[in-house]
Amino acid sequence: MIFAQQTTSFGVRAGASSTGMRGDAISSFKNLLDFSNGMINPTNRTGFFAGGYVNIPITEQFLIEPAIYYSQKGYVLNGSFNVKGMSFLGANAKARLNTQYIDLPVVIKTNFNGFQLFAGPQISYLLNADLRATAGVFGINLLNTKIDASPQFNRWDAALTGGIGYEFANGFNINAAYDYGFSRVDASRTMNSYNHAIKVGLGMKF
């Protein structure tokens, strides 16, 4: 306990993320969008995350790292669709799901001469979710609308996170992680839609 108290450290970390959904993600929006001929192409959304962490040593080479991050997540749909309550059929349409979460990971981390491996559970709380739909032809914007999608989502999410990193002697560190969601994101939990994310971050330990 004395060793842990003397060497416990704090840090900050921020970086970029590429997020999406695996499973039957498109069906998660059947109450918001009408799809035409199944011509929908989902792609990842680029966002960012930022927050702080605590390093709590267990042994010389193993430590526990709880953290708290603000994280942007979501995904993008390209194709043809109607917005509920509107007769407009999207041409060159795009629907961008923007979700904002508070992520609370707790990982076990190994440290061998600066090289790090880590893995552990993560609980997330949804702050907000919206769907922005745009469409146009020949460079003319024909549709630009924003829909509150929060009621369609479960407020709590759970995932496993893991990755690799390197920490320099001065405390500066870089890491890459993958979040694998295993909790259904829709409010009714009836659809097989799950968050996933690739994250690359820079941090500083004090």
Question: Does residue 6 surpass a pLDDT of 90?
Answer: no
Render the burial of 167-176: b for 16+ CB within 10 Å, e for the rest.
beeeeebbbe
Provide the pLDDT for residue 92: 65
Question: Does residue 99 surpass a pLDDT of 90?
Answer: yes
Question: Does residue 13 surpass a pLDDT of 50?
Answer: yes
Q: Which tokens sit at 88?
A: 């407009």
Provide the pLDDT for residue 50: 98
Q: Which tokens sit at 146?
A: 């924003």
Q: How far apart are CA 35 and CA 39, in angstroms?
A: 8
Provide the pLDDT for residue 29: 62
Q: How far apart are CA 198 and CA 169, in angstroms?
A: 26
% of the chain beyond a pLDDT of 90: 56
Q: Domain limits of the chain?
A: 2-205
Question: Does residue 18 surpass a pLDDT of 80?
Answer: yes
Provide the pLDDT for residue 162: 97
User: Which pLDDT band holds residue 3 (cuts at 50, 70, 90)?
Assistant: very low
Q: Which tokens sit at 161?
A: 């996170």
Matching CATH number, 2-205, of 3.30.70.3340, 2.40.160.20, 2.60.40.1180, 3.90.110.10 = 2.40.160.20
* Mean pLDDT to the nearest integer, 101-126: 97
Q: Whose CA is closest to 8, among 67, 63, 51?
A: 63
Cα Rg of the chain, angstroms? 20
* Mean pLDDT to the nearest integer, 103-120: 96
Alpha helices in the chain (DSSP H): 2-7
Provide the pLDDT for residue 2: 44
Per-residue model confidence as pLDDT tens digits over 21-77? 887 766 666 555 655 555 566 789 999 999 999 999 998 889 999 999 999 999 887
179 forms beta bridges with: 161, 197
- Report which of residues 133 and 196 the model is more confident about: 196
Average model confidence (pLDDT) across the chain: 84
